Structure 1
Amino acid sequence: MIANLTRGAKTASLHLPADRFQIAGVLSYLGVDRLDDYELPCEGQDSSGIMVSLEPTGIAERNIAELCRNEKISLGRLNSGFRSLFKLPYEQQLGVMDRIASQKPEHFDDFRKAIDAATVPSVSQEYYFPLTVNLYTANRWGDYDDDPEEYDGRFAARYEDKIRQALLVYNRDDGEDMAAYFHGNNTVVAKLRSATWDFKRRGGELYGCVTVETAGQLTAEQEADLKDWITGQNSDGLGEGFEQQEINIDSYSSSGRICVSFWHSGDDYFVDNEDEFAERLEQGFNLGGM
């Protein structure tokens, strides 16, 4: 859906859904600085002299545009509806528009209800992976050794707060959500809503933990692709950058600097979902108790 806005000799178009910066840019271009899209009609002229007309494509959009004209729906409300529509997985978007095309809604609220009915609940899943810590200690002259001592998640657990804070600082500019960086299986792209790296302590050890939200459950194939991506981020993406961040530590048992790696090349490396990780911990506990 396109909304055409005209004021005097100037015309600008908005492809819905439009974000607040696009809307503000168009209104500023038209010479209106103190107005938002909820004060504009979808069709007709407002008090500031802006004429709005909708340019629908297809039967569904024409039906929606007619509802907007009949009920005097604001441009902001229409834009909000399309924003919610475009948050749905593509298959659900098509389903909503097909229903609106085949059976014209009686009211604009029916458009929103169709979107709500098609909204797939988010499913949250955690994925765990081991950490490797390199400890650099200073000699008596204050110089740090080139060859670090290597430790595992038990050592990392002592400095959980410092490690987490270092990751927060590292992600400060780009944000914590990594979902936008997923490249691969398009069915995963359509479902993936968020992916956030953090740490969790389990059985006295600190592990890396990625919390993923998806639109519905992933299939086994989709989860395998997601795990491959997490591994890639840990080795060559987010993890590669983070492991170069030096974290100062000072405690009764150790002092110096540590660097934390999300990946190692050993055969025992893993990325487990919650069930797999629980089973791994249980097996480790049983072996340790024998």
Structure 2
Amino acid sequence: MHPLRGIAFKTSAILLFTVMSALIKASSSEVPPGEAVFFRSFFAMPVIVAWLFFRGELRTGFHTDWPMGHVWRGVVGVTAMGCGFAALGLLPLPEVTALGYAAPLMTVLLAALLLGERLRAFRISAVLVGLVGVLIVLWPRISVDNLDQAATMGVALMMVSAAMRALAQVHVRRLVATEQTSAIVFWFSMTATVLSLFTLPFGWQVPSAQILLCLIMAGLIGGFGQILLTTAYRHAEAAVLAPFDYASLLFAILIGYTVFDEVPTTMVLLGSSVVMSAGGAIVWRERQLGLQRGRARPNMTPNG
């Protein structure tokens, strides 16, 4: 394990995903979300296939023992991606990023409901605190005094996106029981590309040269981001890397301000801080429990 190297890869991946979101946002006035999903998925595939080839994992990446598992992962993932891309066209980039932090909190709850994972009091409390943070971010958009139809729709789409991302994460936990990581990465891009084509009747547009370049770059950057993210987990434990997800807000604030002239509100910053604190507490607690289990394991009997 090389934790510093893993952190560098994870932070780089988060930066690339934020840049990708900015490119999608820049194209949102010209192309619908389904078309953006197609470009994001299709142009990520050459990068992923090249990566699998150079790692000698091309055959592994193509092989699957559970095809329908990848189809369902694709349906949920495309829904999450499409709703998130639509929200980018309606809300500032920092706000979309902050609302996306609801996904890990929802993952904890869905894992308990669907996978039977045990929820301890500490984790439940942290999730509730995190959801309060999300509500703080949401409040200016849903309060009657400041009701904006487009922004409210953006919030609703982002919440659906977060829920679908959480469901996708739970489903991936099932997939890893039979599927290799390389196969999960490849088949998601493949299924997302195919499924996005079903949105063709809903108003795809021929993009201008500048927007076309943005969309192609979004796909390529997304593919590189996936590779860096996967590589990060080869060098460091998930508990070490998890807190660096929140670097996305810093990148989103910087890009939003410099590119889109967006300044995050006090409520976005306050709510994000609460969510980050709750997420950090969950990571810390799970790491402590992991260390305790590790120390206890040598003292176990053969029967556990």
TM-score range, shorter chain: under 0.3
TM-score where L is the length of structure 2 = 0.20
TM-score where L is the length of structure 1 = 0.21
Which has the larger Rg? 1
Say which structure, 1 or 2, has more relative contact order (CA 8 Å, 6+ apart).
2
| Higher-helix-fraction structure | 2
